[in-house]
Amino acid sequence: MKHYRYATVLLTIFGFIACHQDNITTKTASGAKFEPLPAYFNGEKARIRAGNFNLQKTVMLNGAKITTNISGTDSTAVQDLLKPFTDIDLNKPSLRDEYDTSSLYDPFSGRRSIIYQSKGKQTFPSEITMELDKNGNIQQVNIHSYTSNMVYEYRQDLFYQQDKTIRIATFQKIAFLTPKETEVSVAITPKNRM
């Protein structure tokens, strides 16, 4: 019986810790309601260009595949790769109150997941999931978008993992036309590892 009491007390303490961390994440350091993703990805662009990375880009368009190598110092290429990410800004006035925020906290590692989910059916993007390390630094971002009506369907999945991967997958279908699928995958490696 005593073991159950101790287990209950420990679980309650961990629950309070996790709930306390959830409340902390509702406001960002800049005072914005949501994480300022354009600023984060602009910082990542500068870091990739300054960090001397190689980028191996693979593009698949309706099954055809092309692979090229890009230097991380090529500012135009890095700008183009991260543009879909920098265009996402949930702090725009037009998106105020359009998203619910939830988070999960791991009290053992200190890692945290933050999820922004659209309240509406057609809001762009529909969901953003971020993985943060114990210091609150973003390590990974997933962005999902979906739009559909009688004549048009559009899906886009964006994935960014710091110093490892960029992935942009897009599906587009217009009534009476052949669907178009595009996937861009980029492996990011420091030049000294290649």
Asked if the peptide bond before residue 107 counts as cis, ω within 30 degrees of 0, the response is no
- pLDDT, position 30: 55
Mean pLDDT of the chain: 82
* 94 has pLDDT over 50: yes
Confidence of residue 95 (pLDDT cuts 50, 70, 90): confident
* 33 has pLDDT over 80: no
- The pTM assigned to this predicted structure is 0.78
CB-based contact 114:101 (threshold 8 Å): yes
Task: Write out pLDDT tens, residues 137-151.
Answer: 999 999 999 888 889
Nearest to 57 by CA among 191, 194, 189: 189
- pLDDT, position 121: 65
- pLDDT, position 72: 78
| Mean local confidence (pLDDT), 35-39 | 89
Q: Greatest CA span in the chain, whole angstroms? A: 68
| Mean local confidence (pLDDT), 9-36 | 51
Nearest to 158 by CA among 76, 44, 74, 46: 44
Structure tokens given for 79: 């700008």
- pLDDT, position 22: 41
* 13 has pLDDT over 70: no
| Mean local confidence (pLDDT), 5-22 | 46
For residue 58, give every residue at least 6 positions away whose Cβ sits within 8 Å of its Cβ, in sequence order, or none.
65, 66, 67, 184, 185, 186
* 77 has pLDDT over 80: yes
Confidence of residue 31 (pLDDT cuts 50, 70, 90): low
**Residue by residue, what is the 3-state secondary structure of the chain?**
CHHHHHHHHHHHHHHHHHHHHHHHCCCCCCCCCCCCHHHHHHHHHHHHHHCCEEEEEEEEECCEEEEEEEECCCHHHHHHHHHHHHCCCCCCHHHCCCEEEEEEECCCCCCEEEEEEECCCCCCCCEEEEEECCCCCEEEEEEEEEEECCCEEEEEEEEEECCCEEEEEEEEEECCCCCEEEEEEEEEEEHHHC
